[in-house]
Homo-oligomer: A and B are copies of this chain.
Amino acid sequence: MEAFVGDVALVKPQVAFFEAYGSAGYAVLERTISVVRAAGTLVIADAKRGDIGSTMAAYSQAWLGEDAPLASDAVTVSPYLGFGALEPAVELATEHGRGLFVLARTSNPEGGQLQGAQLDAADLSGVSAGKGVSVAQSIVDAAVAQNRDGRDTVGLVVGATRGHGLDLSEFSGPILAPGLGAQGATVADLAEIFRDSRELLLPNTSRDVLRHGPSVSALREAAERVRDDVENGLA
């Protein structure tokens, strides 16, 4: 992480690669998060956790709790059990001024069928009422409703690799947009895909930077180049 600290606004560790090594991997992740945050760089733990009730509360505590060993600035969460089941994470993030990013429309082709399925219009209320929306749009709408408190605690994950088909016009929170680089999206694509919602767009590239490692200076140069490309492309 030495290569990035101070030069980039945020780091998004993929929790799975640490979890594969069990407690030893998590000890490394704890130190990584701590070093990066101490340097003033934001950490979004890419964990895609999702559960219900007291179990969801425990995941929230793990990633957003005040004194938790893995405490990060934000965590990614997965809504298969319903946006409402994520409530313990929303509450804890709000309380501690942290954030969460809920998967809406992901960048992989296998996700399209489920995320594009249509909700029963009779079930819908609030922002989605009467619209006959897709699963992904229902997540966007639930995030819009949650963020009406003005804190924008809830961000979204919307892939940059394909037409997302979402109405993001009412969404004011941050958007995490994986898919830049190795997954195929270019900086020019970003401007097109997120036309109406560029204010808090966080385009995200991993393999395209990491293949330049392990030299610290090469990694830093690659990260700076992507950052400059994105800033120019969206200017």
Q: Does B120 contact A52, Cβ atoms closer than 8 Å?
A: no
Q: Does A111 contact B48, Cβ atoms closer than 8 Å?
A: no
Q: Known interface pairs A19-B62, A50-B48. Does A69 touch B118 (Cβ–Cβ under 8 Å)?
A: no
Contact residues, A9-64 vs B (CB, 8 A): 14, 16-17, 19-24, 26-27, 29-30, 46, 48-53, 55-56, 58-59, 61-62
Q: How far is the CB of A36 from chain B (nearest CB, A)?
A: 16
Q: Does A65 contact B20, Cβ atoms closer than 8 Å?
A: yes
Give bound CA distance, A16 to B119, whole Å.
Answer: 29
Give bound CA distance, A14 to B49, whole Å.
Answer: 13
For A66-81 the 0/1 string (1 means CB < 8 A from B) is 0011100000001111
Give bound CA distance, A119 to B113, whole Å.
Answer: 7
Q: Known interface pairs A69-B21, A119-B117. Does A49 touch B52 (Cβ–Cβ under 8 Å)?
A: no
Kindly list chain B residues whose C-beta atoms are within 8 Å of the C-beta of A55.
14, 16-17, 46
Kindly list chain B residues whose C-beta atoms are within 8 Å of the C-beta of A65.
20
Give bound CA distance, A135 to B119, whole Å.
Answer: 10
Contact residues, A75-110 vs B (CB, 8 A): 78-85, 103, 106-110
Q: Known interface pairs A22-B26, A70-B19. Does A117 touch B135 (Cβ–Cβ under 8 Å)?
A: yes
Question: Which one of A53, A114, A115 has the greatest number of beta carbons of chain B within 10 Å?
Answer: A114
Question: Which one of A49, A85, A113 has the greatest number of beta carbons of chain B within 10 Å?
Answer: A113
Give bound CA distance, A138 to B114, whole Å.
Answer: 9
Kindly list chain B residues whose C-beta atoms are within 8 Å of the C-beta of A119.
113-114, 116-117
Q: Does B114 contact A82, Cβ atoms closer than 8 Å?
A: yes
Known: A82-B108, A83-B114; 15 extra A-B contacts, CB below 8 A, are A19-B58, A19-B59, A22-B70, A23-B29, A23-B69, A50-B50, A50-B80, A52-B110, A53-B108, A80-B80, A82-B111, A84-B110, A85-B108, A85-B111, A117-B138
